[in-house]
């Protein structure tokens, strides 16, 4: 069977990942299979073959992989309504609903944000990888809120560089368990795969640098409403950092779930919402600031938290 060539570009939140881990995640194969491809010379980094699985990838690098078996076809358009908060000829900003996966991946070949955007009339997402066109940054499936999507390669490249340079500000609202000791805090703790559960992330020695700024907005009987600003962009960063600080996100079943509290608040997912976004438009230079109010389920949970005795 002839090999299929696929190419991926490294995003800011993937920078400094091991090559075998990056290839495994992007190609939807096991890490062992990725290592075999690398050792066989079937992986090119910026056009050059490498046989070192432990080498690190950097932002913007292009990684080409020759896969021996046919992979999933390119994502197809699907009629899924998505709220648009901002749009022009170069980019759009969506309000991603909770429960919606951002792009196709093993186990989620359809029903994603990318599938929805491809079905839109007019220019759809473009730039970056063919399996995640236009995607500049991601939100966890259970997280709602603002996301930037590019419509062309130049805009995608510029926004990716801006994200890596920390020139895009993202502010999240989170309801956390308990009461923090201080009104402001900077959590500076490296994040990597949990040694106890490889499906989870954790604060680990030797992990990738990660920084989150946290500000208390409202102290409630059993919870606290906080504003979280991720300075870096690691997988599950806010959720992992808040758990490490002793105040996990309410309703988070992966990182410190308090079932009794979640039930009292009516939470079926983590109380985490990408509420504000600001950046400089890469084509016009205009400063764009956008806000997205809490969706009904989180607003209802907040009201329930305020009513707790």
The residues that are catalytic are: 140
Given its phi and psi angles, is residue 58 left (phi above 0), alpha (psi -120 to 50 degrees) or beta? beta
Which class for 205: exposed (0-12), middle (13-18), buried (19 or more C-beta within 10 A)?
Answer: exposed
Contacts of 37 (CB under 8 A, 6+ apart): 23, 29, 43, 65, 66, 67
SS3 (DSSP) at 77: coil
Q: Which two structure tokens, joined as six digits, stand for 53?
A: 């699985």
**Dist. CA 23–CA 30, nearest whole Å:** 9
**Dist. CA 20–CA 30, nearest whole Å:** 9
Query: Could you tell me where the DSSP H helices lie in the chain?
Result: 19-27, 31-39, 113-118, 153-164, 237-244, 259-265, 296-307
Of 219, 223, 218, 215, the C-alpha closest to 171 is 215
Give the orientation angle of helix 31-39 with respect to helix 19-27, to 10 degrees.
120
């Amino acid at each position: 069977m002839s090999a299929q060539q696929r190419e991926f570009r490294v995003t800011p939140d993937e920078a400094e990942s091991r090559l075998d881990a990056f290839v495994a995640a992007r190609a939807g194969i096991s890490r062992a299979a990725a290592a075999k491809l690398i050792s066989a010379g079937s992986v090119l980094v910026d056009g050059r073959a490498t046989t070192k699985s432990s080498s690190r990838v950097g932002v913007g690098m292009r990684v080409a992989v020759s896969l021996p078996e046919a992979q999933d076809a390119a994502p197809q358009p699907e009629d899924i309504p998505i709220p648009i908060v901002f749009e022009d000829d170069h980019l759009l900003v969506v309000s991603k609903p909770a429960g919606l996966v951002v792009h196709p991946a093993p186990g989620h070949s359809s029903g994603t944000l990318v599938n929805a955007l491809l079905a839109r009339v007019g220019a759809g997402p473009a730039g970056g990888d063919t399996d995640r066109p236009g995607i500049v940054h991601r939100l966890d499936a259970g997280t709602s809120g603002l996301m930037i999507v590019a419509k062309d390669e130049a805009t995608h490249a510029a926004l990716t560089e801006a994200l890596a340079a920390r020139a895009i500000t993202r502010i999240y609202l989170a309801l956390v368990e308990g009461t923090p000791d201080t009104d402001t805090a900077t959590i500076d703790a490296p994040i990597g795969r949990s040694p106890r559960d490889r499906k989870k992330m954790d604060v680990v020695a030797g992990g990738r640098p990660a920084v989150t700024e946290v500000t208390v907005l409202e102290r409630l009987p059993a919870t606290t409403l906080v504003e979280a600003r991720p300075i870096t962009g690691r997988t599950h960063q806010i959720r992992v950092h808040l758990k490490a600080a002793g105040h996990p996100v309410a309703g988070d079943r992966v990182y410190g779930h308090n079932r009794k509290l979640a039930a009292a608040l009516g939470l079926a997912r983590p109380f985490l919402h990408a509420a504000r976004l600001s950046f400089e438009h890469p084509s016009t230079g205009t400063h764009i600031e956008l806000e997205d109010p809490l969706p009904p389920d989180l607003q209802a949970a907040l009201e329930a938290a305020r009513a707790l005795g």
